[in-house]
Amino acid sequence: AQSVTQPDIHITVSEGASLELRCNYSYGATPYLFWYVQSPGQGLQLLLKYFSGDTLVQGIKGFEAEFKRSQSSFNLRKPSVHWSDAAEYFCAVGALGNQFYFGTGTSLTVIP
Amino acid sequence: GAVVSQHPSWVICKSGTSVKIECRSLDFQATTMFWYRQFPKQSLMLMATSNEGSKATYEQGVEKDKFLINHASLTLSTLTVTSAHPEDSSFYICSAEGREGVYEQYFGPGTRLTVT
């Protein structure tokens, strides 16, 4: 069955510290993987996506993610967090013509 | 880049009335659109998949007679919540998939529905 797991419901980091948000997936075929960010009351903004090729992908706002097939993981990282990064982060997996499966989200709090 | 709009962004209605939410792909044609529902502090759950010119495919547990979906053109899909009740209050988000197979779902900004 297709599923996405984000083990961390809530993470708190200090501004300037590094960040890693975990994502594990289960998918029957080669997945397309995505990370989205959602601010309160807002829609989803795509941070980055992985289709194929280089397993380290760069996204917007200084985020990057690494696809590890052996671990079925697609963790999101940022070397130095800014206060404006506080939001809800969703990992998603999908394929052409099919629905996206979303993780339950990780809420990020940034301490000044 | 591809843009998806939703209208209205926020709506309040009385219990028993119907509400229509529009989802438009502004600069591309979308063969397939998806409707999601998000409860506060929860993830997005797919309600239905909408294909242009055909009936929508609903996920298990979603009442098709209550949530009417129409995908009349390659740029417009509508979700009508019929006889709305307070438990239908939620954040509804649509997404559209590019017709040319460029694989990404472009998400609309969402519609906040409050039923009083």
What are the per-10-residue average pLDDT scores of chain B (116 residues)?
89 97 91 89 88 88 94 92 96 82 76 96
pLDDT tens per residue across span A36-87: 999 887 888 889 999 888 999 999 999 999 999 999 999 999 999 999 999 9
Q: Name the 3-class secondary structure at A62.
A: helix
Judged by a CB distance cut-off of 8 A, whether residue B92 touches chain A is no
Q: How far is B15 from chain A (nearest CA, A)?
A: 23
Q: What is the pLDDT of residues B22-37, one digit of tens each?
A: 999 998 888 889 999 9
Name the residue facing A44 among B42, B49, B93 (closest C-beta): B93
What are the CA-CA distances from residue B24 to residues A43, B6, B50, B59 (Å)? 15, 6, 13, 22
* CA A97 – CA B99 distance, rounded (Å): 10
Task: Please measure the distance between the N-terminal and C-terminal CA atoms of chain B and give it in whole angstroms.
Answer: 37
- Closest-CA distance, B61 to chain A, in angstroms, reads 16
A75 bridge partner residues: A66
Helix (H, G, I), strand (E, B) or coil at B35: strand
Mean confidence (pLDDT) of chain A = 92
CA pair distance B34, B57, nearest whole angstrom: 10
Choose from A9, A45, A100 for mutation: most chain B CBs within 10 A: A100
Q: Which residues of A touch B91 (CB under 8 A)?
A: 41
- Cis ω for the linkage preceding A7 (within 30 of 0): no
Look at residue B53 and give its three-state secondary structure: coil
